[in-house]
Structure 1
Amino acid sequence: MPDVAVLVGSLRSGSVNRQLADNVARIAGDRLTLRQVPLGDLPMYDHDLWDDTPEAVTAFKEQVGGADAILLVTPEYNRYFPPVIKNAIDWGSKPMGANVWTGKPAAAIGATPGQLGAMSAVLSATQLLTIVGCAVMAQPSVFFNHRDDMHDSDGVLTDESAREFLSGWVDSFAAWIERMS
């Protein structure tokens, strides 16, 4: 079963995007193993830090580099993905010759309470993943319109049509990973 490194672009423990990532992991069942890689301990990218590489950076690069694929789950801040995602992608792409993104099958999805469901952030993140060398699945897209009535009190998705949609997306992503591997 493919091992997928999941990067959640919201640091807040109760974020709707963390809920989305958790629900996709539940729905994936025996098709994919989704493992969230922490981003909050990464320092802001500074090339000078390579002289004494922070442990958080080394651990991040090992986790992403060892994964079979990447799933980026992003909120939308001012019609863009948050800085924590850009920072993580920068750390993973450096130093020259040690880019952990190159050739990795990847996808970006996102959720917001708004009608467009993080569409701008997902599209921007998809472009950036392509630039650093990921083989990005562009379709089907997940621009998830988060509503509180879709979940139980623990954040578990109870809306059956949303579960079916995400299950179909997981099938597509699993097939994409297999095709790109």
Structure 2
Amino acid sequence: MSNVSIAVVVGSLRKDSFNWQLAEALTKMAPPGWQLKRVRIDDLPLYDQDDDAQQSEPVQRLKAEISAASGVIFVTPEYNRSIPGVLKNAIDHASRPYGKNAWAGKPAGVLGVSVGAIGTAMAQQHLRNVLAYLNMPTLGQPEMFLQAKEGLFDPDGQIGQASRAFVQGWMDAYVAWVKRHA
């Protein structure tokens, strides 16, 4: 496969987010011909089913970007042992109205980074439940629970030496997952 576009949805709005750093570092780990494109979710209105018949421009843009992608990588922080509201809001928008689910069939990858020792394990588990309902085949192994600590990122913003092989292994598994579900 060449000229593959993967949508990257980051569940954080924080300017100096570790998850934004991880998403950026991943873009440089993709194989030749694969482009990871970050999808904007910060301008979406709060989901309201009353708006399904006339979705706003940001919602239409999100749905078009997801529809055009060959797969989706979710990079999520963990808020109160679950996914951030902004991420759930984006997921809800792109799955609606009923019967027009932009996520359906898109091979998904889930990962995240947090300052806690278990990374984003609970958020990822909750997200996997949602993705199963949305009919997204989701990479199960390897799981990627990263702790934000000294050396995770090098001075250039890339994955540090100690974690590089591990993260590259995840990326390679995700690439194979997308090919399997193409």
1:124: how far off? 1.0
What is the alpha-carbon root mean square deviation over aligned residues? Answer: 1.4
Task: Give the whole-Å Cα distance in 1 for the aligned partners of 2:38 and 2:120.
Answer: 20
Task: Give the whole-Å Cα distance in 1 for the aligned partners of 2:108 and 2:18.
Answer: 21
Q: Which residue of 2 aligns with 1:166?
A: 167
Q: Which residue of 2 aligns with 1:27?
A: 29
3-state SS of 2:8 partner: strand
Letter of the 1:52 partner, please give it: Q
2:18–2:113 contact (8 Å) kept in structure 1 = yes
Structure 1 length normalisation: TM-score? 0.94
1:31: how far off? 6.0
Paired residues in the alignment total 180
Unaligned 5+ runs, structure 2:
none
2:53–2:97 contact (8 Å) kept in structure 1 = no
Offset from partner CA, 1:33-74 (integer Å, 9 cap, x none): 110001100111011223432100000000011100010000
Task: Give the whole-Å Cα distance in 1 for the aligned partners of 2:144 and 2:33.
Answer: 18
3-state SS of 1:150 partner: coil
Task: Give the whole-Å Cα distance in 1 for the aligned partners of 2:33 and 2:132.
Answer: 24
3-state SS of 1:123 partner: helix
Q: Which residue of 1 aligns with 2:39?
A: 37
3-state SS of 2:116 partner: coil
Task: Give the whole-Å Cα distance in 2 for the aligned partners of 1:170 and 1:156.
Answer: 14
Equivalent of residue 138 in structure 2, options 129, 136, 139? 136
2:151–2:162 contact (8 Å) kept in structure 1 = no
Structure 1 stretches of 4+ with a deviation exceeding 4 A read none
3-state SS of 2:108 partner: strand
Letter of the 1:171 partner, please give it: D
Letter of the 2:142 partner, please give it: P
Offset from partner CA, 1:93-132 (integer Å, 9 cap, x none): 1112210111110011010011101111111111111111
Equivalent of residue 81 in structure 1, options 74, 80, 83? 83
Equivalent of residue 58 in structure 2, options 44, 56, 72? 56
Shift in alpha-carbon separation, 1:39–1:162, aligned structure 2, 3 A: same
Q: Which residue of 1 aligns with 2:125?
A: 123
